[in-house]
Structure 1
């Protein structure tokens, strides 16, 4: 639906302008109509500027995941569409107005400011990736709206007014800002973004690369590792994370365009995070990488990084500052209404403040930390020793992803069942999207969870490497690459079955019906219900201190996967999960009837005895409630039979959930990962990128070097853009 929003916004603006006069005459009294006509443009331009301030703040904060991210997303969507709509309505009102109707020449002076507002602030260029693909429509809108603005300016200008000439620099600034937006949207579109990966395509570039890679005479001057390169460049300690993230981002960014990478076996170490790196640092680096990607796809950060962009930015600020000074000097000579004079000052000052706020936010961004942390000259070195070091040290306190969404299906059913607003909202919101967001909670991604995820992925990689090494020592033939791909695919397909196999044949035979024999969404629901029942049953039977870290991790991952299934189903493999969720919800409500208050401990106890109390014939549709409770009973009984302690049982369950999380991360399309960055990003995306850094993705193929001089193969971080082309 969003792909048509631009056309709807423009069309509705002109339609509103066309009918409002007739509607006002019929619906409003003469006094109100006169008041509306008098203050319409003043209200429109003021609202348009206020929306720019809102977009600066919202565009910056929507990159953060957390409790209020859904509400921020709604506000961003509303402000993003309203900003274009209000500016277009104001321009169309000027287009429809007649000479003599406007009571002040200042109203015409406001025209170029509307072009500034249509260009938008630096903190947001697109609401979604779809906006980037629609850049031709925005380009057409650019020509139309610039034409309308110029027509209105010529139509109402006064040859004797100094405002006529003061408006010209604002027109220049407005065209720069609006054109800037079109260029950014085009550069961030899928095709252009993919092409930017291959920035060097000439034969000379390829020849230079061959010299870099195989020329032994220069090999001694080429750093072998990124750490050596950063030491050689005197990067300050606090800034190394930003540099590691930047270089990894440059090499892995093709994945987000659904491109496949070929990496030479001798160079793979340069593309991987070190095994010795702590989990906190690994998640922090991934967080910075995704921040770079967000800036490239959703903001105008590239404008403030390039030389051309800085020149245009200088022209923009010079134009607005010069007009503000000229207006301040000459405003006393005008006999315009005081309100119009104040609105003009507000527009001039607001245009400058919006840009200054955007520049400050960019100055505090990861891009600035990247550039400041590597002193390039004496002046920069002095800055790096004072301001830069303090800034980088402050920014270096980041700890990666902070929070993760949580959704408990049983809790959700109780809350919806007892809410008096449910039946009212369901009339308009048939899929209960509002309810799903409203009842989503948030938990911190604590260090224990990060360590658990990081360790699991490392163990998966080591197992993958060990199997490859054993096979390669026994037989190295032409089919080894095919074997490697099949081995990787089989490891990535694990979604809990490997954990069961590790526990023995009994486990695999007893529980494979809940993992291997059902589709993925079905498996998530089964294990989610079982985890809920066992968690609150153990909480009822034991003290909270007896429930260890694996128990908490299982609960976090279970509720997070349920959240993905309920709220972000496009990030998971296709299935009929939504049908099963609906039928299971109905089954929960039927089982508990009209119980108004029942704590989770009592609910879990009731569900454990469900088989005895709930006849099989009453099971509804695709509901998995009964099977989920059966799974919980089997896990509890087997744990008692084998005399497990709580930690053993929950360790197994936590590892099953971790395999499900890794499976979902590997199956989710990279485009979907990039799409969710507009909502602050998902834990699933961080896991997918961590897996990619370990080579645990089917989008990366490790291939042998064709050159006979494999041992002299070196890596040059200075030629990173060329290397991307050579290896991709």
Structure 2
């Protein structure tokens, strides 16, 4: 029994290859156009489209090559079917498509680790394409035109494999290992010591330490420079830091000289300037792991780009001029024109991206002359307009809003118990907020203050600072006895939930103070807004990105807490919004510990958080925190310290994975902390010791 009619099967057999080739070109167009957008976009739709295009691109091109190789059976005798000659001309274009665009080589870090599989694919696909090419050889002009396209396709395919290999963890680490250093010749030193001593001289060994290399202020950003010069100076400084601190992404250690240099730079910068340098650095990191930048912006990459572009343009012009096109079907000639024009347009678009990138701006800033200076200003202005380096947003997740079910599902055909519904429900309650200047100032100021408490690079002091997750703020405010159970006596995910709910309860109970006309109200609102934004962001990490937080049972605690909150809301019909819910929760008596009543089977922390909120309100009167200002300043500092702890505990690979999802504030804080010396990945050393003999 035939499922499809004979006419449909014939039409498919005739158009199968043509459709696959055009789809392959369309997928390449999608990848090169939006491949770089994910650096600064948090859109889930973009991620899905890019994921589908990335996975489909190689499969479609591979299947097309398979169809081409099987179509040779249509030829009869020694003559080659003209239709097969022109379709065989498409084979090198499929190799070119398999090479992928410059803007995306790997969808995730795992793709870099699979470079041996890709290398095998290169060999196999090139052999298949050559097989198709040889079987279609008939000494026609089109056969000769396929040779330069083959060169372009192999270059593109080879580039992608080389970049994937370079970005794999093993080779990335090896590329940063310093040359072996045996140190001073100990045997020769001791021979000289023994011989001088045997001759009767009084020999005294003496050691000295090489002076550390200080920070060079000559390349510091000057306020009176032009905007393009300032951008170039910031970019140069960011790249020099990137070359040093990329060792964090290979689990290598930094020297105390590295940290001293970065500290001396960042301690004299504003939060805006410091985080701009971090943005540049993370942009370079994204390019190294997910694009062809490592090769394209090298001397060899420039030569290869000139070869691929010139070869493609020459083949197009030659194809326009040849007269044997009448031998081929008109539709195949049109598709060939589409492939050639598409290849040229994509090459030119890649060149435009190349010229407007930070890497080009960096190169121009290092080669100063009049012509280069003009080009530098042009590229700098384009880069300012086009180059967004991360989303500059914070994802928000509010537990009370989630429990109120204020955003019901739009699709009534999806059962609420299905996995897809639970997944979509999580995303429905995710919001985005811009990272404000005030929030940057708060975070940078707190980290800067913390870094200054560690002097002389004491290992124990640094480890202690990195391990603090809010208790340092409690100690400073002298309320560790009252609130220490929320930090030291709890797991980290438990602390996040406790402080998140308590922050919400305090926020909505203090709403009336925000509308006061005095200046203190604006300060209060600033600190309370910062606390709420950080609180919602940390809950988002707990719910949506638990892999970025220390191991724990955060998902279980969140579900149990939501279940108890939903039960509380359901029983009280008067609760219609977040403000009412928070005020009703604060009215619940917590004189008896919840664990005494409920036991520990349920991991809900809802009413423990109510205890925390009441304790904060009690401290407000006990410590005379007037107008709530000190309370909210205290809460915001707790959240910054918890954020810093989470950033330091997250593995570098998880930070790198988030770069392809628009970036995370947590990743920026992780790198900023390393620059400020708040990291355990550094070598405690005074410098290189040298010894010499004092002979008397």
Normalised by the length of structure 2, the TM-score is 0.86
Q: Is the 8 A contact 1:104 1:336 kept in 2?
A: no
Residue 468 (structure 2) pairs with residue 525 (structure 1): no
- Structure 2 residue corresponding to 1:188, chosen from 150, 167, 175: 167
- Structure 2 residue corresponding to 1:64, chosen from 22, 40, 46: 40
Where 1:334 maps in the other structure, the secondary structure is helix
Match of 2:21 in 1: 45
Match of 1:601 in 2: 579
Query: What pairs with 1:613-652 in structure 2 (closer than 5 Å)?
Result: 621-644=602-625, 645-652=627-634
- Structure 2 residue corresponding to 1:228, chosen from 218, 222, 226: 218
Shift in Å at residue 394 of structure 1?
5.2
Where 1:404 maps in the other structure, the secondary structure is strand
Q: Is the 8 A contact 1:257 1:671 kept in 2?
A: no
Relative to structure 1, is the Cα distance of residues 272 and 134 closer, same or farther in structure 2, using a 3 angstrom cutoff? farther
Match of 2:446 in 1: 456
Shift in Å at residue 203 of structure 1?
8.4
Match of 1:308 in 2: 300
Q: Is the 8 A contact 2:215 2:265 kept in 1?
A: no
Match of 2:203 in 1: none
Match of 2:687 in 1: 705
Match of 2:318 in 1: 326
CA distance in 1, matches of 2:154, 2:615: 68
Deviations 1:430-451 (A, max 9, x none): 6933332343211111110111
Query: What pairs with 1:27-38 in structure 2 (closer than 5 Å)?
Result: 27-38=3-14
Relative to structure 1, is the Cα distance of residues 457 and 282 closer, same or farther in structure 2, using a 3 angstrom cutoff? same
Match of 1:692 in 2: 674
Query: What pairs with 1:427-466 in structure 2 (closer than 5 Å)?
Result: 428-429=418-419, 432-465=422-455
Relative to structure 1, is the Cα distance of residues 272 and 346 closer, same or farther in structure 2, using a 3 angstrom cutoff? farther
Q: Is the 8 A contact 2:503 2:613 kept in 1?
A: yes
Residue 488 (structure 2) pairs with residue 516 (structure 1): yes
Shift in Å at residue 39 of structure 1?
1.0
Relative to structure 1, is the Cα distance of residues 204 and 654 closer, same or farther in structure 2, using a 3 angstrom cutoff? closer
Deviations 1:350-382 (A, max 9, x none): 112112212211211111111112334x4xx32
Match of 1:73 in 2: 47
Shift in Å at residue 700 of structure 1?
1.4
Match of 2:148 in 1: 169
- Structure 2 residue corresponding to 1:555, chosen from 512, 526, 532: 532
Match of 1:238 in 2: 231
Residue 466 (structure 2) pairs with residue 492 (structure 1): yes
Shift in Å at residue 624 of structure 1?
1.4
CA distance in 1, matches of 2:116, 2:215: 43
Residue 42 (structure 2) pairs with residue 54 (structure 1): no
Q: Which runs of 5+ in 2 are unaligned?
A: 76-80, 186-207
Query: What pairs with 1:134-149 in structure 2 (closer than 5 Å)?
Result: 134-149=114-129
Relative to structure 1, is the Cα distance of residues 557 and 152 closer, same or farther in structure 2, using a 3 angstrom cutoff? same
Match of 1:667 in 2: 649
Match of 2:193 in 1: none
CA distance in 2, matches of 1:131, 1:544: 55
Residue 234 (structure 2) pairs with residue 262 (structure 1): no
Deviations 1:462-486 (A, max 9, x none): 1222xx5xxxxxxxxxxxx8xx211
Shift in Å at residue 702 of structure 1?
3.6
Where 1:424 maps in the other structure, the secondary structure is coil
Deviations 1:275-327 (A, max 9, x none): 12111010000000010111111100122222222222222112211110111
Deviations 1:112-136 (A, max 9, x none): 1111111000001101111111000
Query: What pairs with 1:105-504 in structure 2 (closer than 5 Å)?
Result: 105-155=85-135, 157-198=136-177, 200=179, 225-229=215-219, 236-264=229-257, 268-269=260-261, 272-330=264-322, 333-376=325-368, 378=369, 381-384=370-373, 386-393=374-381, 395=383, 402-415=392-405, 418-419=408-409, 421=411, 424=414, 428-429=418-419, 432-465=422-455, 484-504=458-478
Match of 1:539 in 2: 511
Deviations 1:159-204 (A, max 9, x none): 1532111111111111110011100000111111111113655889
Residue 559 (structure 2) pairs with residue 577 (structure 1): no
Shift in Å at residue 681 of structure 1?
1.6
Relative to structure 1, is the Cα distance of residues 542 and 695 closer, same or farther in structure 2, using a 3 angstrom cutoff? closer
> Between Structure 1 and Structure 2, how many residues are aligned?
649
Q: Is the 8 A contact 2:90 2:336 kept in 1?
A: yes
CA distance in 2, matches of 1:150, 1:517: 67
Residue 542 (structure 2) pairs with residue 565 (structure 1): yes
Deviates more, 1:105-114 or 1:191-200: 191-200
Shift in Å at residue 453 of structure 1?
0.8
CA distance in 1, matches of 2:59, 2:576: 48
Deviates more, 1:593-602 or 1:407-416: 593-602
CA distance in 1, matches of 2:25, 2:156: 14
Shift in Å at residue 668 of structure 1?
1.1
CA distance in 1, matches of 2:355, 2:452: 40
Relative to structure 1, is the Cα distance of residues 665 and 309 closer, same or farther in structure 2, using a 3 angstrom cutoff? same
CA distance in 1, matches of 2:220, 2:631: 45
Where 1:524 maps in the other structure, the secondary structure is helix
CA distance in 2, matches of 1:517, 1:668: 21
Where 1:347 maps in the other structure, the secondary structure is helix
Shift in Å at residue 76 of structure 1?
1.7
Relative to structure 1, is the Cα distance of residues 439 and 566 closer, same or farther in structure 2, using a 3 angstrom cutoff? same
CA distance in 2, matches of 1:77, 1:544: 50
Q: Is the 8 A contact 1:54 1:79 kept in 2?
A: yes
Q: Is the 8 A contact 1:238 1:393 kept in 2?
A: no
CA distance in 1, matches of 2:542, 2:229: 43
**Rg: which structure is higher?**
2
Deviates more, 1:688-697 or 1:438-447: 438-447
RMSD: 3.3
Where 1:464 maps in the other structure, the secondary structure is coil
CA distance in 1, matches of 2:405, 2:323: 60
Which structure is higher in helix share?
Answer: 1
CA distance in 2, matches of 1:603, 1:423: 30
Q: Is the 8 A contact 2:148 2:311 kept in 1?
A: yes
Where 1:312 maps in the other structure, the secondary structure is helix
Q: Is the 8 A contact 1:125 1:298 kept in 2?
A: yes
CA distance in 2, matches of 1:615, 1:652: 25
Normalised by the length of structure 1, the TM-score is 0.83
